[in-house]
Amino acid sequence: QQPVQSPQAVILREGEDAVINCSSSKALYSVHWYRQKHGEAPVFLMILLKGGEQKGHDKISASFNEKKQQSSLYLTASQLSYSGTYFCGTEARGATNKLIFGTGTLLAVQP
């Protein structure tokens, strides 16, 4: 079953922060995060492999709560270039090499 992301859409002003959540009904082995701009391919941001793991990427970071089967993506001091649709992707335990993408979150950063 497809992971559920929230919110579905968010509009920000430059410099504001946002959090995107990803929730799965299955026990997870890993969580990926991708950003897709309109008309382009998804681009890999980061992968989280261990429960409780947090990773950072410039001003974009993510956490993984293995027990709750959830991950969150944190965007701080947003820039115009952050605009796009964000997808989490999950690999369930026992089903690796099968990345199931979430429902997507549309992020629009305005000047």
Partner 1 sequence: DTAVSQTPKYLVTQMGNDKSIKCEQNLGHDTMYWYKQDSKKFLKIMFSYNNKELIINETVPNRFSPKSPDKAHLNLHINSLELGDSAVYFCASSHKQRQGYTFGSGTRLTVV
Which residues in this chain contact partner 1 in the complex, by CB under 8 A? 2, 30, 32, 34, 36, 40-47, 49, 85, 87, 89, 96-101, 103-104
Determine the Cα–Cα distance for residues 100 and 39; give it in Å rounded to an integer: 21
Q: How far is the CB of 108 from partner 1 (least distance, A)?
A: 14
Q: How far is the CB of 15 from partner 1 (least distance, A)?
A: 27
Q: Quick one: 16 or 108, whose CB is closer to partner 1?
A: 108
What's the min distance (Å) between Cβ of 71 and partner 1?
14
